[in-house]
Amino acid sequence: MPRKHLLGIADLSPFEISMILDLAESTKSISERTIKKVPTLRGRTILNLFFEPSTRTRLSFEIAQKRLSADTVNFSVSGSSVSKGETLVDTAKNLAAMRPSVIVIRHGVAGYPHRLAKLMDASVINAGDGFHEHPTQALLDLMTIRERKGQVEGLKVAIIGDIARSRVAGSNILCLSKMGAEVTVMAPRSMLPYHIKKTGVNVAANLKDAITNKDVVMALRIQRERDSVSRFPSLREYNRYYGLKMEHMQYLKDDCIIMHPGPINRGVEIDPEVADGPLSVILEQVSNGVAVRMAVLLLLLGGRNIYEVSD
Ligand code: CP
């Protein structure tokens, strides 16, 4: 992949998305071995900068880097000079002076990874920027769908929840649409972007309509950390109208899969019986996160010869 950075799905062509998913099938096999390590990125230094909390993304990037033998450095905001008033640009210039090969960044400001990319010689990977994009999440979601369904083109996918403030929704709508899936969203009006219909997705009137006859149903968490505005009367009411519950299973196709990027708020956007039930692929998404992040690192750093991932 001649691309230097992975900043968003918006930049990627369907060919590039397929190339990442194809390579992730190979990198997944490394995680299934007894010795889960190949020397491909030996000598490369990767900085993980997480300015927002993360469990899955941060750990899976670190595991992916270690499985590829890269040297991994984790940057903690609370222990850094950012907390002493250093600007983000100055921090970035100082990081660049240490000559890392890759910077993985999660930041609350939409577009900050793009700004960083302009200041750095290193490759920059967006691990989530504000409400904007979370490209590796969309890629691991597509990998999971492709594994279960064989292809993405022609599938009907419902995304339920806080569409307006979710970077997962933003990247998934782009990624699924580029790969030929039909996307339907459903949320309280206060959680839908004003121009949602211009994105080409369908907007369902209620949960039953949204999930009936779908191949994939994805539930999203309420992004309460993004602003202080309350967008619904109560969590109880939200769960009543927008939460996936056992009573909804009757409307799903037998082979429908249920997805959630995590972290889950059980009893709010999804009930425990559904999250842990037979249609759920939530933990498969987490496993595929390591494989996709290995593939992205290899493609950004290694060019095409990285298809040789054997040890
Ligand atoms: N899906 C996701 O981004 O999870 P984390 O916030 O735990 O990284």
Does 55 sit in the ligand 1 pocket, CB within 6 Å?
yes
* 56, 58, 104, best to mutate for ligand 1 pocket (most atoms within 8 Å of CB): 56
Structure tokens at 123: 């490759």
Does 136 sit in the ligand 1 pocket, CB within 6 Å?
no
Inter-residue contact 127 to 7 (CB < 8 Å): no
Cα gap 125→300, rounded to integer Å: 9
Res 28: pLDDT: 97
Structure tokens at 197: 């219909």
Cα gap 155→149, rounded to integer Å: 9
Residue tagged 């002076």 (tokens): 97
Cβ neighbours for 49, distance < 8 A, ≥ 6 positions apart: 75, 95, 103, 104, 105, 106, 107
How far, in Å, from the CA of 134 to the mean position of ligand 1? 9
Cβ neighbours for 165, distance < 8 A, ≥ 6 positions apart: 131, 191, 223, 226, 227
pTM: 0.94
Q: Which numbered atom of ligand 1 lies nearest the CA of 262? A: 1
Cα gap 246→96, rounded to integer Å: 51
Structure tokens at 117: 């990319």
How far, in Å, from the CA of 167 to the mean position of ligand 1? 11
Res 1: pLDDT: 56
Q: Which numbered atom of ligand 1 lies nearest the CA of 57? A: 8
Does 57 sit in the ligand 1 pocket, CB within 6 Å?
yes
Structure tokens at 199: 């994105």
Structure tokens at 225: 């950390």
Eight-state DSSP code of residue 10: G
Residue tagged 């109880």 (tokens): 236
Q: From atom 3 of ligand 1, which residue's Cα is the shortest distance away?
A: 57
Strands of 123-129's sheet in order across: 71-76, 45-50, 102-107, 123-129
How far, in Å, from the CA of 59 to the mean position of ligand 1? 9
Nearest to 43 by CA among 305, 302, 310: 302
Q: What's the average pLDDT block by block, 10 residues per block, for the chain (311 residues)? A: 90 96 96 94 95 95 97 81 79 89 94 92 96 97 98 98 95 98 96 90 97 98 77 85 96 97 96 98 98 97 56 46
Does 54 sit in the ligand 1 pocket, CB within 6 Å?
yes
How far, in Å, from the CA of 311 to the mean position of ligand 1? 30
Helix (H) or strand (E) holding 112: helix 112-119
Res 311: pLDDT: 46
Inter-residue contact 28 to 289 (CB < 8 Å): no
Does 137 sit in the ligand 1 pocket, CB within 6 Å?
yes
How far, in Å, from the CA of 126 to the mean position of ligand 1? 13
Domains for the chain: give ranges and CATH numbers.
Answer: 9-134+286-308 (3.40.50.1370), 135-282 (3.40.50.1370)
Does 13 sit in the ligand 1 pocket, CB within 6 Å?
no
Would you call 31 exposed, middle or buried from its count of C-beta atoms within 10 A (0-12, 13-18, 19+)? middle
Does 261 sit in the ligand 1 pocket, CB within 6 Å?
yes
CA distances from 201 to 92, 172, 176, 198 (A): 37, 11, 10, 8
Inter-residue contact 168 to 134 (CB < 8 Å): yes
Residue tagged 């090969």 (tokens): 101
How far, in Å, from the CA of 168 to the mean position of ligand 1? 9
Q: In a 3-state reduction of DSSP, which class is residue 225?
A: coil
Does 56 sit in the ligand 1 pocket, CB within 6 Å?
yes
How far, in Å, from the CA of 288 to the mean position of ligand 1? 13
Would you call 23 exposed, middle or buried from its count of C-beta atoms within 10 A (0-12, 13-18, 19+)? buried
Structure tokens at 80: 């850094």
Does 193 sit in the ligand 1 pocket, CB within 6 Å?
no
- For CA atoms 110, 73, 66, 305, give the dihedral sign: positive
